[in-house]
Every structure is written in structure tokens, then in C-alpha cells.
Chains A and B, each alone.
Chain A
Amino acid sequence: MTKETLYNLKREQLKLLSEYREQLYKNPVLKYLFLELTLRCNEHCLHCGSNCGDVPSVEMNLEQYKNILDQVAEDFDLTSFLLCITGGEPLLRKDFFDIMGYAASLGYRWGMTSNGTLITKDVAAKLKACKMKTISISIDGMEESHDRFRRTPGGYRKAMEGINNLIEEGGFKNIQVTTVINHSNMQELDRLYEIFCEMDIDSWRVIGIEPMGRALDHPELLLTEEDQNYLFDFIREKRMEDMPVTYGCSHFLGLKYEKEVREAYFTCNAGIYAASIMSNGDITACLDIERRPELIQGNILTDNFKNVWENKFECFRQGLDKKSSQCSDCPAKAFCAGGAHHSYDYDKNEQRICFRDSFFFEI
């Protein structure tokens, strides 16, 4: 078997995926429902996609969340999707366990993202009692880098303590660490890998810094082509050793790295698999997508979520390649569909991240 044979296999599968995606545009399937409980955070990360701390956090109250959870439970099979709790830092909410205890009582499967700094032993026990299944905790470098990047003295130690409290509590299906790699902490990948190999976590997700939110103000942190290539080679090498290191879901990587650095081929889930309810009740696709009025599909306080899911989201149920002249002559557009919504520049109608012209991109 040759490299070209393997690439032909991938092309066949990507073609099938593109056909399947066209069907998903017409018949979307809810698999992930995000609830953004707050935009407050006890950290102030340089790369925060939600600008937490710099924008007001308009929040719904406990009764409103119970109504939302009741409504969705009535209209959807709760075994068919994962409720994803995020923020800001969700654990800042004093009523967090009231909300999630109620969700658990209704039968929701749920997971969350957290900076881990508030996960004491007691909190870990409560998370298990509320039937949390999975969690991703952010560690964005070795101690000095992490604390500097997240602008939180002592944040690394508290986050690691939080991870260890979860591990000791036990009973969770997946404890994952997520690391955002930027140009300044690339050289820490190997050392971080050694540290995480010694911990009883289930997986390590490594994401390149994305040009969104506050990261747009720090272009010096963005990854170069060489950085991206190094990152992909690093992840692939670990996966060849059967270690659960994975790239994030974003961006079409070309034939060399698609299916090599993560389990799945690239598909942007926004609006076809994933929907989100912001802290103020606005309904959108993915919380990392730029918050523009035209991308808001409704508000949960006035609209029925199922109606919105089934009848709105038109802008997400077509490929971005249809909008962008950048894609018109691209040989990869059928596979890529114009890329991820969260990295799309809606003012310029072009992708902020596209690997088409990168030296490692093959099609």
C-alpha cells in the first residue's frame, strides 16, 4: 500500500462525509446543547474567546433554568445529546448545584468545562453527586506560563489540585485536560506530556490558540505554520504510541493530518449537531462564534427551543464556502465546507484560519 492509496481512502471517506453533511443541513441532529451559565470568571485569560470579565454577565436565575431544562426534557430524548455546561467559570454560580442537581434529577447526561481552581474535594464530591459525567480542565502551559497566560497567580497549582480532587473522587467517565498552545509555550509540549502521563486523566486535548475574543488583541501568540506543523507531528506521534492525545475539532487539516491527530474528520458541528444557550438566554450555534445579532436565532425566555432548532439556524446549515470568495477555486472546499464558524470573519467574509496555503497541506 502506498501513501497515495491511503490518501485515496481518505478522499473517499471525505466525499462520503461531505454528502452526509449535506443531509445534516436538511435534517440536523442535536447532539450537544451548551448552557453558558455565566460570563463571570475568576481568571482573565489572554486568549478568552468570550471576553469574560470585560463584558457584563447577564444571567438567568434558578427558576428560569429549571423551566428551560423542563422544556427541553419534554421535547427531546435526553439520552440523545450531551448537556455541556460552560462559562466563564460555571462554578462561580452559587446556585450551580441547584441547577445541575435539577438537571440530573430529570435525567440529563452532562459534562462541563472549568478552570479547575474551585474544585475542592467537597466540590468534586458534589459534582459526582449531581451525576456529572465528563469534565475538561484547562492547563495552558507549565506553571509560570499557565499563570502568566491566564493572569492568575497560583492558578496552575489550584487547577492541578482540582484535577487531582476529581481523580481521587473517581466515578467520572472522562477527566480531560485541555491545553491551548500558543507561539510562546510551544516548547513546553514535551514536558506537559510527561506530567500528564503520570496523572490518571483520561485524555489530553491540545488546541492551537484561536483568533477570537481577547486573542485577537495578541497576534504575537498566534501559531506560525511551523508551529502548527510541529504541533500536528507531536500529536500524531503520541497517538501512534496509543496515547489519548488529541487535537481539537477545528479546521480542515489536509490529507496528511486529517484522521491522524484526532478520531474524526473535520466537520463544524455548529447548528447541525450543536446549539447553545448563552447566559442571557440568546440561542445560537456555538458559543465561540462571534456574538453578532444576525447570528442569534432566538431567546429561550421567549421562544421554544425545539421550534428554534428545527426552523431557524439557516445560516449555519450551509457551508461557509458558499459565502466566501476565498473558497471559490479551492480544491478542498467540498471536504472543508469553508471551515469552522468560530474562526470566520463575518465582516470580511473570509476565514481567519485556513491551512490551504500551508506547506504541510495536501489535498
Chain B
Amino acid sequence: MKKMGRKLIVGTAMAATAVALSACGGIKDPNVCVYGPPPDEPETISIPASGEYDPSGILEPETIGEFDPSTEINEDVYGPPEYFE
């Protein structure tokens, strides 16, 4: 299997999680329905007809927190939340 090739550029794994959460928009489903084939194209964020859906506000600095270089987090690792307090 080939690696997914995530490139998360922020400093902490938690912030990386936030970016990953935000970038995906929460709408795309790469696996269709339970026993369907995988999609052939990368999913894009679906915007509702009203155009109101906008997760970008979630990435405000006061939400994510400051980068802490002392944690020495691998930028490419999507870490589980309980590692960070």
C-alpha cells in the first residue's frame, strides 16, 4: 500500500489535527456507502446552495493555540488527542 502522503505543515500535532479537520470540511466521504467502490477523484468540500457553510473560522488562533517548539512533534504525524494536555 502506498502512504497517503499527508503533508501537514503546522508545528504541533494538535494544530495539525485542526488543519486536517478544517481542510476536509467534514462533508466528503471517500468510501461511498458500506459496500460501494472507492471514489475515483479526491472529494472536495461540498458547499450548500446557500453558500453559508464555512469552517474557516475554526482556525482562528485563539482556537488552535500557540505553537510550542518544546514538544518536538513530527509535523507529519496526526497524533491522538490524549498525547497532548
Question: What's the count of A-B pairs with C-beta under 8 Å?
Answer: 192
Q: Tell me if A318 is interfacial: C-beta within 8 Å of chain B.
A: no
Given A29-B46, A86-B36, A242-B5, also A9-B18 (CB < 8 A): yes
Contact B78 A240 (CB under 8 A): yes
Interface size range of chain B in the complex? 35 or more
Output the residue of B4, B14, B31 with the most chain A CB within 10 A.
B31
Q: Given known contacts A204-B1, A244-B1, is B32 in contact with A342 (CB within 8 Å)? A: no
Contact of B77 among A5, A240, A246, A250 (CB under 8 A): A240
Which chain A positions have C-beta within 8 A of B81? 2-3, 6-7
- A84 and B21 in contact (CB under 8 A), knowing A29-B46, A133-B40, A203-B1? no
**Complex Cα gap A273–B27 (Å):** 11
CA distance A242 to B27 in the complex (A): 21
Residues of the B chain whose Cβ atoms lie less than 8 Å from the Cβ of A5: 14, 63, 65
Q: How far is the CB of B59 from chain A (nearest CB, A)?
A: 9
A20 contacts B30, C-beta separation under 8 Å: no
Chain A residue nearest to B28 (CB atoms) is: A264
Q: Is the contact region of chain A dominated by helix, strand, or loop, or is it mixed? A: mixed
Check: A210 CB closer than 8 A to any chain B CB: yes
Interface pair B33/A274, CB less than 8 Å apart: yes
B18 surroundings in chain A (CB, below 8 A): 1, 6, 9
Chain B residues, Cβ within 8 Å of A9: 17-18, 21, 58, 63
Interface residues in A98-120 (C-beta closer than 8 Å to B): 109, 111-113
* Interchain nearest-CB distance for A252 vs B (Å): 13
Known: A7-B81, A82-B40. A250 touches B26 (CB 8 A): no
Q: In the complex, which residue of chain A has the Cβ closest to the Cβ of B82?
A: A3
A243 and B27 within 8 A (CB): no
Residue A228, interface by CB 8 Å = no
Binding site for B on A (CB under 8 A): 1-3, 5-7, 9-10, 12-14, 16-17, 19-20, 23-24, 27, 29, 32, 34, 49, 82, 84-86, 109, 111-113, 133-136, 173-174, 176, 178, 196-197, 199-205, 207, 210, 236, 239-240, 242-246, 248-250, 259-260, 262-265, 267, 269-270, 273-274, 286-288, 340, 342
